[in-house]
């Protein structure tokens, strides 16, 4: 199976978006690159990361990179698909680290456009809930919405996953 140049997989928490994205990539390659953006700050997150590692097994080349995702993309083996899981945690890392979100987003999109590797980005859809009650949460929600729109504009395939079921928003499901 041939993957589009850029795919965005959106969904809520525990929607099945990561599993869908991983299966999509494994149908195209047996040695893909997984760029993990999570940072572990507590036991619950450590357990979640361990579960994800166990589910992936050893066939993935995993790069743990919470901020410099574009640089990690450039080190991936040529032609092999790249999974970035996830843009939401990456954005959280940028905001909490006081990085320039717009500049880093531009660099990420440029790297996705220039790589010879197909790229699949997993991201949370956070704009369907209530308006957050604090400035930081509103800043994050707005930044996530803008980032998702930017990625979707550039992507050939955009898939929403709800209850484990994929729905194409842009492009045909493979």
Selecting among 5, 52, 53, 61, the annotated active-site residue is 52
Distance (Å, rounded) from C-alpha 15 to C-alpha 154?
Answer: 23
- The tokens describing 115, both together, are 């790589």
Burial of 58 (0-12, 13-18, 19+ CB in 10 A): exposed
How do beta strands 157-162 and 165-170 pair? antiparallel
52 in catalytic set: yes
* Pick from 93, 9, 8: nearest CA to 45: 93
CA distances, 145 to each of 23, 33, 52, 105, 124 (Å): 25, 26, 25, 12, 9
- The answer to whether residues 118 and 79 touch, using CB atoms and an 8 Å cutoff, is no
Catalytic residues: 52
């Amino acid at each position: 199976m041939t993957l589009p140049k850029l795919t965005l997989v959106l969904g809520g928490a525990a929607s099945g978006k990561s599993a869908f994205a991983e299966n999509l990539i494994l149908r195209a390659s047996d040695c893909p690159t997984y760029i993990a953006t999570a940072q572990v700050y507590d036991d619950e997150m450590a357990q979640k990361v361990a579960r994800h590692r166990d589910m992936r097994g050893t066939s993935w080349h995993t790069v743990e990179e919470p901020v410099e995702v574009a640089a990690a993309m450039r080190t991936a083996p040529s032609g092999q698909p790249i999974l970035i899981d996830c843009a939401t945690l990456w954005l959280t890392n940028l905001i909490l680290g006081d990085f320039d979100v717009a500049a880093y987003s531009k660099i990420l999109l440029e790297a996705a456009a220039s790589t010879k590797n197909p790229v699949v980005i997993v991201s949370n859809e956070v704009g369907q809930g209530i308006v957050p009650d604090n400035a930081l949460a509103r800043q994050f929600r707005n930044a996530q919405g803008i980032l998702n729109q930017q990625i979707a504009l550039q992507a050939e395939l955009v898939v929403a996953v709800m209850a484990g079921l994929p729905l194409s928003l842009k492009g045909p499901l493979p």
